């Protein structure tokens, strides 16, 4: 006990096993009572705090500092390259002239609380008109979003749990990953190497049969990298790049590195700052861009990263000279985090009559989609705006009813349907942007609501 922390852990029914900080302390660093001084967030890495009186010294040795300094020297690092161009910011200013915004909604980064307060500041009539606009836009552009839940034969080893028992296995994630790959296979971006091998196509250096058909993979927002793990296990990918700004434990990297024929490179960088043209080992190699549940603006930044700089190389006929992007599959997520500054297709929304203020409200509504019970699916014919249109008139004497009270009266299923409509509109703008850049593309629901309400998949090929 003399060499162990004296903090009692009731759940484990024992003392902490760590060593004390020093001979004058009975506790380890995790359990030593904090100083009464002022604790503030570290300006380099806000995920931890530091005593204000120690801030100057901490800034010189913060664990993240060395990483940032090293990253800034990398050829693929370009601060804010995918955040949005000056031209887009000018467009934003032009759009805002049609509906001037004041206060917090005129700034670049808008929190969910700010969006909510802006919605609550509307009148019931304004809210009703906004919801009617959402319904009208959705009816005109979102008719062709199809269900496309695919479980490909190539992923049988994962579906049947025939993988290494040390790899984490959660059925809902495996089904999502398999469907993403199944949609890519059906779209012609991936090929089942086992089928080719059964016809006698085999190479001594691995299962890949056609380098032109089985590209390298760049997984954006890779996290632990298990979407790429399934890709490598089932489709014989040879070169993998995992893009993730955070550091994770229990990553797939160890398992991937055990594959003799696979080359793995992890890029610890924010997608906002990644210039793929600066990744030397990717130059001249056709690649597939993937991302499972890219939260909010991360989807927009990924699209810019893969395509925005390429469009300058497109000729009149629409052929992309020197472009290495072979295909793309992005499962979108967390639309409530989307920002007008980063959104990829502001011009498209403005042409539909959706202003920046409308966009903030639409993104806030999207959170309702994931709050509902999705076990039995959602009815597609619920008329969300009907009740609000009545409230917005003098009929019933409810003109002065606060928007907060109006929203509280909407049924949960109606709120969910409205949330899904808003998600559809946001992702449809992204789909149109991809098509404008010369790719064949679709927006599909790649898993049922019961598996995940975040079920939108943007899929494209060059």
pLDDT tens digits, residue range 327-384? 999 999 999 999 999 999 999 999 999 999 999 999 999 999 987 666 655 654 444 4
The predicted structure's pLDDT at residue 35: 65
Short-list 426, 424, 421, 396, CA closest to 409: 396
Helix (H) or strand (E) holding 442: strand 440-445
User: Tell me, what DSSP letter sits at residue 382?
Assistant: -
166 vs 350, higher pLDDT: 350
Residue 446, pLDDT above cutoff 70 = yes
Span 33-54, mean pLDDT? 80
The predicted structure's pLDDT at residue 209: 36
pTM higher than the cut 0.85: no
Confidence of residue 320 (pLDDT cuts 50, 70, 90): very low
For 74-78, 86-90, 250-254, 255-259, which range has the lowest pLDDT when averaged over its residues?
86-90
Edge-to-edge strand list for the sheet holding 440-445: 146-147, 440-445, 456-461, 325-333, 287-295, 216-220, 239-243, 263-267
**pLDDT > 70: percent of the chain:** 79
Q: For the chain, what is the mean pLDDT?
A: 81
The predicted structure's pLDDT at residue 43: 87
pLDDT tens per residue, range 207-246: 333 444 557 899 999 998 899 999 998 988 889 999 998 8
320 vs 119, higher pLDDT: 119
The predicted structure's pLDDT at residue 290: 96
Answer positive or negative: Cα dihedral of 258, 260, 262, 264. positive
């Amino acid at each position: 006990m003399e060499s162990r922390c004296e903090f009692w852990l009731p759940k484990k029914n024992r003392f902490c096993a760590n060593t004390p900080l020093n001979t004058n302390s009975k506790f380890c660093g995790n359990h030593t009572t904090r100083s009464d001084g002022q604790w503030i967030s570290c300006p380099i890495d806000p995920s931890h705090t530091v005593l204000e009186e120690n801030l100057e010294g901490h800034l010189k040795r913060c664990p993240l500092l060395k990483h940032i300094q090293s990253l800034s020297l990398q050829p693929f690092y370009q601060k804010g390259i995918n955040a949005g161009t000056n031209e887009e910011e000018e467009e934003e200013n032009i759009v805002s002239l049609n509906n001037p915004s004041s206060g917090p909604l005129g700034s670049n980064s808008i929190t969910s609380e700010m969006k909510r307060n802006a919605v609550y500041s509307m009148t019931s009539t304004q809210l009703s008109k906004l919801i009617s606009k959402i319904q009208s836009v959705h009816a005109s552009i979102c008719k062709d979003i199809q269900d496309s839940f695919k479980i490909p034969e190539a992923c049988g080893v994962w579906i049947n749990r025939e993988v290494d028992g040390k790899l984490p296995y959660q059925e809902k994630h495996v089904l999502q990953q398999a469907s993403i790959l199944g949609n890519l296979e059906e779209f012609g971006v991936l090929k089942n190497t086992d089928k080719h091998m059964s016809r006698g196509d085999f190479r001594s250096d691995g299962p890949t049969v056609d380098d032109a058909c089985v590209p390298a993979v760049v997984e954006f927002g890779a996290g632990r990298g298990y979407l790429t793990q399934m890709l490598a296990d089932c489709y014989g990918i040879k070169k993998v790049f995992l893009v993730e700004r955070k550091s994770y434990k229990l990553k797939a990297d160890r398992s991937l590195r055990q594959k003799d024929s696979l080359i793995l490179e992890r890029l610890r960088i924010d997608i906002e700052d990644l210039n793929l043209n600066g990744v030397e080992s990717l130059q001249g190699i056709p690649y597939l861009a993937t991302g499972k549940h890219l939260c909010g603006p991360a989807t927009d930044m990924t699209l810019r990263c893969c395509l925005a700089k390429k469009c300058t190389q497109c000729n009149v006929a629409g052929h992309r000279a020197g472009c290495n992007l072979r295909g793309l599959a992005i499962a979108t997520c967390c639309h409530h985090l989307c920002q007008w500054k980063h959104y990829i297709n502001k011009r498209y929304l403005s042409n539909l009559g959706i202003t920046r203020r409308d966009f903030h409200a639409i993104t806030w509504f999207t959170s309702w989609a994931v709050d509902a019970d999705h076990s039995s699916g959602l009815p597609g014919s619920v008329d969300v705006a009907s009740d609000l249109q009545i409230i917005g008139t003098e009929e019933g004497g409810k003109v002065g009813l606060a928007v907060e009270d109006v929203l509280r009266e909407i049924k949960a299923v109606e709120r969910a349907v409205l949330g899904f409509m808003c998600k559809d509109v946001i992702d449809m703008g992204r789909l149109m942007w991809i098509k404008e850049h010369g790719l064949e593309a679709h927006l599909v629901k790649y898993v049922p609501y019961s598996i995940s309400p975040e079920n939108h998949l943007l899929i494209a090929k060059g």
